[in-house]
């Protein structure tokens, strides 16, 4: 049996880096500025050990655009000839990783950014030639020149002494000339380097002034006890300049064990329209922007929040463009869920009035969490219902309030609710006349939420206010008997099917209701409506539902209404048809179901009647 090492041909490594390692060309700037930042942070660490005699006060990074080149300049630790040979000539050897191991007992070493030793080579995605000028902080070391044109061949020599630090010069290829535009580089620096810990300056031959890019001490890196509400809100708008409204409240995250993580999560005002893609939470590693796709790190239900999470312990792929799932990611997700739950629970217990004022804007986050996340344990303690009168109750409080008079014959407590107070006004009025309490449940997640709660609480049932005649919503004993004979009922059903249902194809049900109730009601029974709403949430099925929605509707005919008796007693068939059609059109109109030609004919007829 042969045993040996697999060899990698160096001639093939550059095409791999250019085409496959980094998914987006623009990250070259993040990688090179991160390396420059590391060079200065290393210098600071060594200075703390007393190994540098000179002053190192004015530490900074410069990004310059001139003569079809981009220059990244730092006055950090620099490199000796041996270090260039080790960290530049050997691909995937990380100087940052080695430095952290050497000085790991020093707190400042933990903020070094690089790990994989590949960031420098991202420059060859956009450059046909890369040149390095570097001078080590070690005064007896010569300055070094290094040059490569994107092949395994390079040039290196000693040059005239330079100031401490490193300058990288990128000679851009024809396809990447867009990166010579000042605004393009400015935008990239603001995206990736906005909060890097070393001050960064940008200059260009096009612009006279040199500008600073970044905030080196963002709010999430500060002690929460030193921050005022204004500081948090100012930082929120620094993160999201296009956000016009303030965040409602926030959570400052800070943990060192079993993983390191800092950050701030903001609760924005969430209106009825949900946008998961806009202004999402940003992931940073040691103040370097990585991504706003935090799948796995932040639970789905918290993806509506905004803010920053910064953790060196979240595993990334080699190009630092994608997260890798492991145990630490799951633990971080659980930690974030717990912190959000604790914050909401504390707000509810300590200042319920203020919590209730914010509820309309945050309830969908809590609903989503209750539906989707087992770890969101405390949510049912602070989840609150609002009634049509603006009163707020927890589930247990509401159960206690209605248990004696909103209980059906099977012993279940019925939670009546409306999804639209205006459109369902007449149904609400009927409920109020019977002293029933009605909740407002109007979020896109209502159907899933109530099914979850019915599973958790078998003694309750949710019924929408327009899903049945009022006396059937909380079904007790039969209150009314029919005043029609069986033959009259059969004749009535035949009349309705003949004159109405050829076009609308609703199912028809005769009910013994109060004489005060309407002659016709159009409803969607609770079970069918829930089924329809779940299908509508599936984009593929929405069209099917829209095209076939009539099958969900049910026409309830009140056999005890005076109009029904009048129809049956009318001797002329045409008059019966007119009476049925008029009453039916009014019912359709009340449900916003009278459209097109039928609506036009109905209005014309009413106008003619008024003119007589």
On whether both 228 and 328 belong to a single domain, the answer is: yes
Q: In this predicted model, which residue has the larger pLDDT, 324 or 396?
A: 396
Which CATH number belongs to the domain containing residue 394 in this structure?
3.40.50.11260
Which CATH number belongs to the domain containing residue 141 in this structure?
3.30.565.10
Whether 250 and 265 have beta carbons less than 8 Å apart is answered as yes
Residue 71 lies in a domain: yes
Residue 530 lies in a domain: no
Residue 388 lies in a domain: yes
Residue 534 lies in a domain: no
pLDDT for the residue 544: 45
Which CATH number belongs to the domain containing residue 274 in this structure?
3.30.230.80
Whether 405 and 390 have beta carbons less than 8 Å apart is answered as no
Local structure of residue 221 (DSSP, 8 states): G
On whether both 233 and 341 belong to a single domain, the answer is: yes
pLDDT for the residue 224: 95
Q: In this predicted model, which residue has the larger pLDDT, 273 or 350?
A: 350
Rounded mean pLDDT of 497-505? Answer: 82
On whether both 163 and 303 belong to a single domain, the answer is: no
Conformational region of residue 67, where left means phi above 0, alpha means psi within -120 to 50, and beta covers everything else = left
On whether both 138 and 160 belong to a single domain, the answer is: yes
By three-state DSSP, how is residue 137 classified?
coil
Rounded mean pLDDT of 263-280? Answer: 79
pLDDT for the residue 476: 73
Whether 470 and 427 have beta carbons less than 8 Å apart is answered as yes
pLDDT for the residue 165: 93
The Cα 153–Cα 132 span in angstroms is 15
Q: Which of 346, 370, 405 is a domain's end point?
A: 346
Q: State percent of the chain over pLDDT 90.
A: 49
pLDDT for the residue 198: 92
pLDDT for the residue 273: 59
Q: State percent of the chain over pLDDT 70.
A: 86
Q: Which of 414, 449, 473 is a domain's end point?
A: 473
Condensed to tens digits (0 to 9), the pLDDT of residues 121-134 reads: 889 889 999 999 99
Conformational region of residue 459, where left means phi above 0, alpha means psi within -120 to 50, and beta covers everything else = alpha
221 — pLDDT class (breaks 50, 70, 90): very high
On whether both 184 and 230 belong to a single domain, the answer is: no
On whether both 337 and 439 belong to a single domain, the answer is: no
| 319 pLDDT more than 50 | no
Residue 468 lies in a domain: yes
Q: To the nearest whole number, what is the mean pLDDT of the chain?
A: 85
Which ranges of 419-525 does DSSP label H, i.e. alpha helix? 425-433, 446-456, 470-473, 486-499, 501-504
For the chain, the domain total comes to: 4
Report for 270-284, 325-339, 403-417: range of highest mean pLDDT: 403-417
On whether both 85 and 140 belong to a single domain, the answer is: yes
On whether both 85 and 29 belong to a single domain, the answer is: yes
The Cα 609–Cα 597 span in angstroms is 18
Residue 558 lies in a domain: yes
Q: In this predicted model, which residue has the larger pLDDT, 538 or 182?
A: 182
pLDDT for the residue 316: 67
First to last CA, the chain: 107
Residue 365 lies in a domain: no
Task: Identify the domain containing residue 298 by its residue range.
Answer: 219-346
On whether both 415 and 332 belong to a single domain, the answer is: no
Q: Which of 346, 366, 401 is a domain's end point?
A: 346
95 — pLDDT class (breaks 50, 70, 90): very low
On whether both 223 and 206 belong to a single domain, the answer is: no
On whether both 504 and 435 belong to a single domain, the answer is: no
pLDDT for the residue 479: 72
Buried residues in 492-519 as b, exposed as e (16+ CB within 10 A): beebbeebbbeeeebebebbbbeeebbb
Condensed to tens digits (0 to 9), the pLDDT of residues 362-389 reads: 999 999 999 988 878 788 899 999 999 9
3-state SS string for 507-570: EEEEECCCCCCCCEEEECCHHHHHHHHHHHHCHHHHHHHHHCHHHHCEEEEECCCHHHHHHHHC
Residue 537 lies in a domain: no
The Cα 75–Cα 287 span in angstroms is 20
Q: Which of 504, 554, 545 is nearest to 524 (CA)?
A: 554
| 150 pLDDT more than 70 | yes
pLDDT for the residue 7: 46
Neighbours of 179 (CB within 10 A): 19
| 115 pLDDT more than 50 | no
Average the pLDDT over each of 145-154, 444-453, 529-538 and give the range with the smallest value. Answer: 529-538
On whether both 148 and 65 belong to a single domain, the answer is: yes
Q: Exposed, middle or buried: residue 488 (CB in 10 Å: 0-12, 13-18, 19+)?
A: middle
């Amino acid at each position: 049996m042969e045993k040996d090492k697999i060899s990698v041909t160096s001639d093939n490594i550059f095409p791999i880096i250019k085409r496959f390692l980094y998914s987006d060309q623009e990250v070259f700037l993040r990688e090179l500025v991160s390396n420059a930042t590391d060079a200065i942070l290393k210098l600071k660490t060594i200075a703390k050990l007393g190994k540098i005699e000179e002053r190192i006060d004015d530490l900074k990074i410069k990004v310059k655009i001139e003569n079809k080149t981009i220059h990244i300049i730092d006055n950090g630790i620099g490199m000796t000839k041996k270090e260039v040979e080790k960290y530049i000539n050997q691909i995937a050897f990380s100087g940052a990783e080695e430095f952290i191991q050497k000085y790991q007992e020093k707190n400042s070493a933990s903020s070094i950014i690089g790990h994989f030793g590949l960031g420098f080579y991202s420059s060859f995605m956009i450059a046909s030639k890369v040149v390095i000028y570097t001078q080590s902080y070690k005064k007896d070391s010569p300055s070094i020149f290094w040059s490569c044109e994107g092949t395994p061949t390079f040039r290196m020599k000693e040059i005239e002494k330079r100031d401490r630090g490193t300058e990288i010069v990128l000679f851009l290829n024809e396809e990447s000339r867009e990166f010579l535009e000042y605004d393009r580089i400015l935008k990239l620096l603001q995206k990736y380097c906005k909060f890097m810990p070393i001050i960064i300056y940008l200059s260009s031959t096009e612009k006279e002034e040199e500008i600073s890019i970044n905030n080196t001490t963002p709010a999430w890196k500060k002690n929460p006890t030193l921050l005022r509400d204004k500081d948090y809100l100012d930082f929120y708008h620094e993160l999201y300049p296009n956000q016009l409204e303030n965040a409602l409240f926030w959570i400052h995250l800070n943990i060192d064990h079993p993983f390191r993580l800092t950050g701030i999560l903001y609760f924005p005002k969430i209106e009825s329209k949900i946008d998961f893609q806009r202004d999402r939470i940003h992931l940073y590693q040691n103040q370097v922007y990585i991504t706003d796709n935090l799948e796995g790190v932040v639970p789905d239900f918290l993806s509506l929040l905004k803010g920053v999470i910064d953790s060196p312990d979240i595993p990334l792929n080699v190009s630092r463009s994608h997260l890798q799932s492991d145990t630490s990611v799951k633990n971080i997700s659980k930690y974030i869920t717990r912190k959000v739950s604790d914050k909401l629970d504390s707000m509810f217990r300590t200042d319920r009035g203020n919590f209730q004022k914010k509820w309309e804007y945050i309830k969908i986050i809590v609903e989503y969490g209750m539906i989707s996340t087992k770890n969101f344990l405390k949510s049912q303690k602070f989840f609150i219902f609002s009634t049509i009168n603006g009163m707020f109750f927890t589930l247990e409080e509401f159960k206690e309030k209605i248990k004696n008079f909103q209980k059906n014959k099977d012993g279940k407590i019925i939670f009546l609710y409306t999804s639209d107070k205006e459109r369902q006004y007449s149904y609400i009025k009927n409920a109020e006349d019977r002293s029933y309490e009605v909740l407002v449940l109007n979020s896109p997640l209502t159907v899933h939420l109530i099914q979850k709660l019915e599973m958790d609480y078998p003694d309750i049932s949710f019924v929408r206010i327009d899903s049945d005649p009022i006396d059937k919503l909380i079904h007790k004993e039969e209150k009314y008997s029919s005043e029609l004979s069986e033959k009259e009922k059969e004749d009535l059903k035949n009349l309705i099917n003949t004159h109405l249902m050829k076009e609308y194809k609703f199912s028809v049900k005769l009910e013994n209701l109060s004489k005060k109730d309407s002659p016709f009601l159009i409803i969607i029974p609770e079970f069918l409506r829930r089924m329809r709403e779940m299908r509508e949430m599936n984009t593929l099925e929405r069209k099917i539902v829209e095209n076939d929605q009539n099958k969900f509707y049910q026409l309830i005919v009140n056999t005890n209404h005076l109009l029904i008796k009048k129809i049956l007693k009318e001797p002329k068939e045409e008059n019966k048809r007119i009476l049925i059609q008029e009453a039916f059109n009014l019912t359709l109109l009340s449900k916003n179901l009278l459209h097109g030609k039928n609506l036009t004919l109905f209005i014309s007829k009413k106008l003619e009647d008024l003119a007589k």
